[in-house]
Structure 1
Amino acid sequence: MTGPRPLDEDASALGGFCRWLGVRRGLRFSDYGQLHRWSVTDLPGFWSAVQQYLGVPFRTAYQAVLEEDRMPGARWFPGVRTNYADGLLRDGDPREPALITVREDGTAQPLAAGEFRRQVAAFARSLNSLGVAVGDRVAGCLPNSAESAVAFYAAASIGAVWASVGSDYAPEAAAARLGPLAPKVLIAADGHRHAGVDRDRGPAWTALREAVGPAHTVVVPRLRATVPSDCLDWRELTAGEAALEPVALPFDHPLWVLFSSGTTGVPKGIVHGHGGVQLEMYKTLALHWDLGPGSRLLWATSPSWVVWNLLVSAPLVGATAVLYDGSPTHPDPTAVWRAVSAHRVTHFGTSPGLLAACERADVSPGRLCDLSALRQIIATGSPVPARAHAWVTARVGDHAPLVPISGGTDVVGALVGGAPTVPVVPGEISAPCLGVAVEAWDPRGRPLVNEVGELVVTRPMPSMPLALWGDASGERHRQAYFATYPGAWRHGDWITRTERDSVMVHGRSDATLNRNGVRMGSADLYAAVEDLPEIGEALVIGTELPDGGYWMPLFVALREGAVLDDALRDRIRRAIRHRASPRHLPDEIMAVPAVPHTRTGKKLEVPVKRILMGADPGTVAAPTAVDDPAALEFFVRLAKHRARRA
C-alpha cells in the first residue's frame, strides 16, 4: 500500500462502516486518523455503532452505553443480556466450514457450520447433565483443534466459565493455572503429534486431574481408540441431535479466565465478560482485519495463547478458522505455508520468529506454493523488524502486506495494529486501534511524541478485565494496571508514538517472558530449576533483539562444589521441559556468582533485563536498594561483551 485511501470509498468492512456512519449518524471522516480520534472521544457513539453495524447479538436493548466512565470500574451496557455463543446462530450456509483442523502431516478435518453447532449443542447438553451450572468452571488441556473450540463454545453457551492451557503444558504448570478455579469438568487430550513425534499425554493429564480434582474428566482420544474406565469419552458426549440454545446472560457475566504470568508467584487469572469480548472481537476481526464470509484465518497457536481466542472467534463474523495443530516448521519451514496454500487461507497469523526462521532457511514460499488467496499476514508476539517486511515482499509477494499488531491477553486483542486504509511502514505499527486511546507517557505521566515511553490507555475499553480471579478486594487488579498512573491503564510495553500516529514497540517494560507471543512467568521455570540439588538460585531474562529475535538466557547461582558442565545443563533442560513446558527452555544457561535482589528479597529481573538491553546500570538500580550490588557486575560485563560482538 503506497498511501492512505479515502475511508468512504474503500471496499472493506471499515469503508462500509464509515459509509454507514455517514448515512445513519451524519458523520464524515476524511482519513483513519479522524475516525480514530472520534472513536476515543465519543466512546458511547463508537461502541454503539460497532454493535449496530456489525450486528453484535444483544438480546435486550440498552439505555446507556457507558454508565461509569472511569478506570478501573467502567460499566458498559448496563441491562444488556447476551451470550458469546449467540454468534454461532448467525445466518449462513450450514455446509460451509466453520473450522478446519490441519495436522502437520497435511491431513485436514473440516467441520461444517451446521455440524459445529450440533456438536456444541450436544456437549452443552452433556455438561448440563454432569451438573455444570451457570458460573461453574470448565477447563481444557487441549491442542489447537476443533475439540477445543467446541468445548469452549459449549461452556459459554450454558454460562460456565472457560479456562484452558495447551496440551504441551507440564502438569505442575497447568495445575498452577487451572487449580485455583476448581473446575467441575476437565477436558484433556490423551496426546498430540508435534515435530513428527506422537506425544503421549496420558500420564500428564492423570497428574493434572489429581492436582486439580475435577468432578468429571473427559478424554479426547487422539492416540488411542479407548478411554480409561474412570473417564468420560468425548465422542459419546458430543453425539446425538441437539439444538443450540445459549442462555441469556448479563453483559458482564464471566466468559473465560485467561492467564498472564507475573514474574513471581502463581500466574494471575484474568476474567473477561461475554459482552465486552464480543465487541472487541467483532471490531478486530471485521473492521481491522476485514474478515467475513469467504475469509479464512490460519494461526499455528495453542489454547494457552490469546490469539487462539481470536482464531476460534472467526466464525462469529462468518469466516473460517483454520486451526493448525503441530509444528509449523516440521519437516521444514515451508510446512505452514503449504497449509496456507492448500486451504486457500486469506489471513495468516504468525510471529516474527517464524518469519526469521524462514529467512534463515532461505525459502521462497511464494514460489513453492500458490498463495494467491492470501490477502494479509498478521504478525505479533514480539516487535517486527523492518527486514521482515522486505523478506515478505520478496519471498511471499507484494499482494499480501505484513501487518504488525501488538496488544495482549489482558485486553483480549490488539491495542495498536493496522487497518485496510492505512499504509504499512516497515519497522512500525500503523496506528492505534479503534476505540483504544493509546499514548506514550514519561514517568510523570506526560505524553511523549517521538520518544520512548510507557504504553498507557487513557480511556476505558469494554474488553478490559472485569477482575483477577480470587482478588475479592480488587487490590491486585488495581496494582497490576493502575498503580503506576492512577486512572490510566499501564500495559507494560515500551513504545514510541510518532508524529504520524504510528507506533514502535520496543519490548516489555516489566519482566514477563514473551517468547513468540506466548507470555510466560518466570515462576514456573524457577520451580523446576531450583529443586535441583546443584542449584542455589536461578534468574531468567527475556530480551527483544534488534533483528526481531528473542534471547532468553537462564542464569544459575550454583551451590558449593557444583560445576555447570554439559551434564548439569542437560538435567536443567530436562527439568524445565518436564515441569514447565518446552517453551520455557532457555537459549543459554550461564553460571553467575550470585543472583541480585532488592533489600526485601525480590529478584531484580527488570533491572537486569534493562542492563542487558544497554541501559546505564546507575539508572536502573540504586546500589542502596540492592542486597548485593556486586552481583550486578556480572550482567554489566555481559552486556558490554554482547555489545562488542553485535
Structure 2
Amino acid sequence: MPNKKLWSPTATNSLLKKFQNSISKDFNLESYNDLHKWSIENKNNFWDKIWNFTNICGLKKGQIYETSNEFINEKFFNDSYLNYTENCLLKNDDTDAIIFYNEKKLSRRLSWKKLRENVFKLSNFFKKKKIKTNDRIAAVLPNIPETVISFLACAQIGAIWSSCSSDFGPKAIIDRFKQIEPKILIITDYYFYNNKKINTLQHIHKIIKELKSIKEIIIIPYGCEQNYKLNFKYIKWNKIFENEILNKKFIKLPFNHPLYILYSSGTTGIPKCIVHGSGGSLIQHKKEHQLHCDIRENDKIFYFTTCGWMMWNWLISSLASKATIVLYDGSPFVPEIDYLFNIVNVEKISFFGTGAKYIDHLKQNKIKINNKYDLNYLKTIASTGSPLMHESFNYVYKNIKKNVHLASISGGTDIVSCFMLGNPMLPVYSGEIQCAGLGMDVDVFDENGKSIVGKKGELVCKTPFPSKPLYFWKDNNNKKYLDTYFSKYNQIWHHGDFCEKTKNGGFIIYGRSDATLNANGVRIGTAELYRVVEKINNIEECAAVEHKIHNDTEIILFIKMKGNYILSDKIKNKIKTEIRNNLSPKYVPSKLFQIKDIPKTKSGKIVELSIKDVINGNSVNNLSSLSNPDCLKYYEEIYKKLND
C-alpha cells in the first residue's frame, strides 16, 4: 500500500525553485529529479553555483572539484579561502542574532552587533594566550549564547573547536578530549535540567588531572558571576570582555581548514574523533538551509539540541544565512510539556526542529498543540535523530499544524549534515524522507551491491561531497576512516543505515544496519517492529535484539511501560498478535521482558547494540557514550536468567 500524501507545496517562490530556474535556462531541468541528477553528475558546476547562490564570502579560485582514485582524497575548493566566522557575522546591526530560553523561563537576546563585538574580544584573548591555528579549544557547556560566542571566536583564528554538553560525565569528557589535547577548556558553573540545578564544577578537577595539555580554564557563570573556591587557577568569563577590541580583521583560511572535531556515538572502544572542515561544513549547511529548508534572512530558526549533538553545529551555521537562531537549555518538557511550542508561538519562529522521540512523546500523551497555539509563522518542522513513525507524521498534521512542511531529515555526525532531507517543492508522504540532498549521490544497495527501489537494503553514497570528514584524529594511514565507511563496498560510502528508496523518490529509514533483526535469513529494521509495538496502549517504548541460543538466534523484546503499568500476559499476547498480523510470524519475539529503562546515547538514540552485547555475554566497551549506562544492570540480570 503506498504511503499517504499528507502535504503538497502551494508556494512557488521557494529558494530551491529560484535556484532551479536559474540553472534550467542553460540545462533544461524540469523536475527536482532532473536537478538532483545534474547536481551529482556535474560537481564542478553545481558546487560553484551553490557558492554563488548562497552568497558565500571568501576567495574562490582554482579548481572546484579535484578527482582522485580514492573517495577520501577527492577535494572541493582546495585553492579557495574563507573564514567560517566571517560568514556567520556578515550582518552587523541591532536586531537579534541569538534568542535564548531555558526551562526556568529565563530569556536573553543578543544583537548581531554585540555578537560580533564579543567574538572579536574573545578571539583577541585567545591570541594573547598564544592560541594558534590548529590548536584545540574544548568546551563542556550548556546550550547558551556564550557557547556560540566561544565557538565563533575559536573558528575566527583558525583554532579547532570541540564540545561536550554539560550532562556528559567525567569519563565521557576525558575519553574525548584526552585524544585531541586541547590547550583551553571552557566550562560553566552549573546548568538546569528537569527542575534540578546541577553543579558542573564538582568533577572538573578529575578532568583537569587527566587533560595534561590544558593551559587555561575559563568559567562562564550561568547566572551571576561568583568567586569559586577551587584548587586550580581559572579565568572569569566577564573579565575577558572588559578590554577594548584591538583587531577586527577576519583571517582568511583554506577552504579545507579544520573547523571542529565531533565524536562517534558508537559503543565499541573509545569514541572516534571526526575532523570536519570549515568550508565543507559551511557550503553544505548553506545549501541545506536555503534550498532544502527555505531559510531566509530574518527567519527565526529553533532546533532543540545540546551542543554535544551535531544538530547544534548545523543550527549555528544558519547565522550565515542571516537568520536568527533560538537556543533552548533544559528539559523540553519543563515547565510544561508543550513549552517549546509556546516559544515557537511567542517568538514567531518559522523553522522548528527536534528529535523524532520528542514528537513521539507528544503523540503518546495526546497533546493537541493546535488547540492552544496558532503557529501562524511556522513554515517548517524538522525531525531527526531516529526514524519518525508514520503515526507521528499523521499526528503532526492533525494536532500541531495542518499546513506545515514536515521535513524528516537523516545524515549524522559523520558528515555533520544530511544525506536525505526535506524539499519545499515536493509532497510529504507519511513515513518518508522526501528526497536525497542536492549533490548527494545517495542510493540503496542490496547484498550484492546492486541498486534497488521499493526494497530494503544498505544506504550508500557513491561519490564524494564537501562535508565528508577531512580525516579522523591521529588515524595512521586513515585506517579508522576507511574501516568505518569503506570496508563493505570499494570506494563507496557505506553509512550503516537499513533503508528503502520508495517509488515516490523518497526514503524510509528502518534503523541501524547492525541492529537489524534476522529471522530465517530475512532482515527487518527495528523501527518497523517498534512502530507496531508502540501503538499498543500503555507501552512507552521498546527495544528488540537478537539473542544467540545454541546454533540459532531468537528475538528478545524489552518493553518499557508507561507509569506503573505491568507487562501482563494479556499485553504480551497482544504484542505477539500485532507483530504476527502486521509484520510476519517470523518476527514474533521468543521472549518478552518488562524493563525499567532502555539505554540511549546522549542525543536520545536507542542503543540496541549495548543490550545485544549484555544479553549475549559480551562486554560493553564504551559506557561513557550512553546517557544512562546504569540501566544495563537490568539486562545483566536478564542475561543471568537466560543462562540459569
1:235 to 229, 235, 238: 238
Displacement of 1:180 in angstroms is 0.8
Does the 8 A contact of 1:5 with 1:31 survive in 2?
A: no
- The 3-state SS of whatever aligns with 2:353 is strand
The whole-number CA distance in structure 2 between the counterparts of 1:38 and 1:402 is 26
- The 3-state SS of whatever aligns with 2:306 is coil
The whole-number CA distance in structure 1 between the counterparts of 2:443 and 2:481 is 21
Displacement of 1:471 in angstroms is 0.1
- The 3-state SS of whatever aligns with 1:411 is coil
Matched to 1:88, the amino acid is C
Does the 8 A contact of 2:385 with 2:603 survive in 1?
A: no
Distance 1:366 1:218, change over 3 A: same
The whole-number CA distance in structure 2 between the counterparts of 1:554 and 1:202 is 38
Distance 1:590 1:459, change over 3 A: closer
2:493 aligns with 489
Matched to 2:237, the amino acid is W
Does the 8 A contact of 1:507 with 1:544 survive in 2?
A: no
More moved, 486-495 vs 292-301: 292-301
Displacement of 1:586 in angstroms is 8.7
1:470 to 474, 478, 485: 474
Does the 8 A contact of 1:441 with 1:453 survive in 2?
A: yes
1:417 aligns with 421
- The 3-state SS of whatever aligns with 2:73 is coil
Pairwise mapping of residues 187-586 of structure 1 onto structure 2 (< 5 A)?
Answer: 187-213=186-212, 214-223=214-223, 225-228=225-228, 230-242=233-245, 244-510=248-514, 545-546=530-531, 551=542
1:641 aligns with none
Distance 1:192 1:632, change over 3 A: closer
The whole-number CA distance in structure 2 between the counterparts of 1:592 and 1:73 is 35
1:149 aligns with 148
Displacement of 1:197 in angstroms is 1.4
Q: After superposition, what is the alpha-carbon deviation per residue over 1:277-308, rounded to whole angstroms, capped at 9, x for unaligned?
A: 11111101111111111211112211110000
More moved, 52-61 vs 419-428: 52-61
Matched to 2:84, the amino acid is Y
Displacement of 1:194 in angstroms is 1.1
More moved, 124-133 vs 103-112: 103-112
Q: After superposition, what is the alpha-carbon deviation per residue over 1:6-54, rounded to whole angstroms, capped at 9, x for unaligned?
A: 9xx831111221232245xx13321111111111111111111100111
Matched to 1:323, the amino acid is L
Matched to 1:52, the amino acid is N
- The 3-state SS of whatever aligns with 2:394 is helix
2:17 aligns with 15
1:34 aligns with 34
Q: Is 2:146 aligned against 1:161?
A: no
Distance 1:488 1:227, change over 3 A: farther
Gaps of 5+ in 1: 513-540, 557-571, 606-630, 636-646
Q: After superposition, what is the alpha-carbon deviation per residue over 1:524-572, rounded to whole angstroms, capped at 9, x for unaligned?
A: xxxxxxxxxxxxxxxxx9997216886458999xxxxxxxxxxxxxxx9
Matched to 2:252, the amino acid is A
Q: After superposition, what is the alpha-carbon deviation per residue over 1:57-101, rounded to whole angstroms, capped at 9, x for unaligned?
A: 2224223433437412111112111121121342x4511111111
The whole-number CA distance in structure 2 between the counterparts of 1:241 and 1:49 is 40
Displacement of 1:163 in angstroms is 0.3
The whole-number CA distance in structure 2 between the counterparts of 1:327 and 1:100 is 17
Q: Is 2:48 aligned against 1:45?
A: no
2:104 aligns with 105
Displacement of 1:360 in angstroms is 2.2
Does the 8 A contact of 2:136 with 2:160 survive in 1?
A: yes
RMSD: 3.3
The whole-number CA distance in structure 2 between the counterparts of 1:504 and 1:554 is 21
Does the 8 A contact of 1:377 with 1:402 survive in 2?
A: yes
Does the 8 A contact of 2:23 with 2:29 survive in 1?
A: no
- The 3-state SS of whatever aligns with 1:448 is coil
1:74 aligns with 74
1:595 to 596, 613, 616: 616
Distance 1:64 1:298, change over 3 A: closer
Q: After superposition, what is the alpha-carbon deviation per residue over 1:222-268, rounded to whole angstroms, capped at 9, x for unaligned?
A: 15522447111111223444254221111211111001123311100
Does the 8 A contact of 1:20 with 1:53 survive in 2?
A: no
- The 3-state SS of whatever aligns with 2:202 is helix
Q: After superposition, what is the alpha-carbon deviation per residue over 1:407-446, rounded to whole angstroms, capped at 9, x for unaligned?
A: 1011111111111101100111111111111111122211
Q: What's the TM-score, normalizing by structure 1?
A: 0.80
Distance 1:551 1:257, change over 3 A: farther
The whole-number CA distance in structure 1 between the counterparts of 2:82 and 2:473 is 22
Does the 8 A contact of 2:498 with 2:513 survive in 1?
A: yes
Distance 1:247 1:397, change over 3 A: same
The whole-number CA distance in structure 2 between the counterparts of 1:591 and 1:483 is 23
2:576 aligns with none
Does the 8 A contact of 2:48 with 2:64 survive in 1?
A: no
2:62 aligns with 62
2:585 aligns with none
Displacement of 1:594 in angstroms is 6.2
Displacement of 1:209 in angstroms is 2.2
- The 3-state SS of whatever aligns with 1:123 is helix
1:564 aligns with none
The whole-number CA distance in structure 2 between the counterparts of 1:345 and 1:153 is 23
The whole-number CA distance in structure 2 between the counterparts of 1:474 and 1:409 is 18
Does the 8 A contact of 1:100 with 1:320 survive in 2?
A: yes
The whole-number CA distance in structure 2 between the counterparts of 1:593 and 1:300 is 32
Does the 8 A contact of 2:515 with 2:545 survive in 1?
A: no
2:581 aligns with none
The whole-number CA distance in structure 1 between the counterparts of 2:438 and 2:62 is 22
Distance 1:592 1:159, change over 3 A: closer
Does the 8 A contact of 1:192 with 1:223 survive in 2?
A: no
Distance 1:3 1:263, change over 3 A: closer
The whole-number CA distance in structure 1 between the counterparts of 2:36 and 2:138 is 37
Distance 1:248 1:176, change over 3 A: same
- The 3-state SS of whatever aligns with 1:379 is strand
More moved, 542-551 vs 119-128: 542-551
The whole-number CA distance in structure 1 between the counterparts of 2:137 and 2:270 is 20
Pairwise mapping of residues 98-137 of structure 1 onto structure 2 (< 5 A)?
Answer: 98-137=97-136
Displacement of 1:495 in angstroms is 0.3
Displacement of 1:116 in angstroms is 0.6
Q: What's the TM-score, normalizing by structure 2?
A: 0.80
Distance 1:442 1:634, change over 3 A: farther
- The 3-state SS of whatever aligns with 1:203 is coil
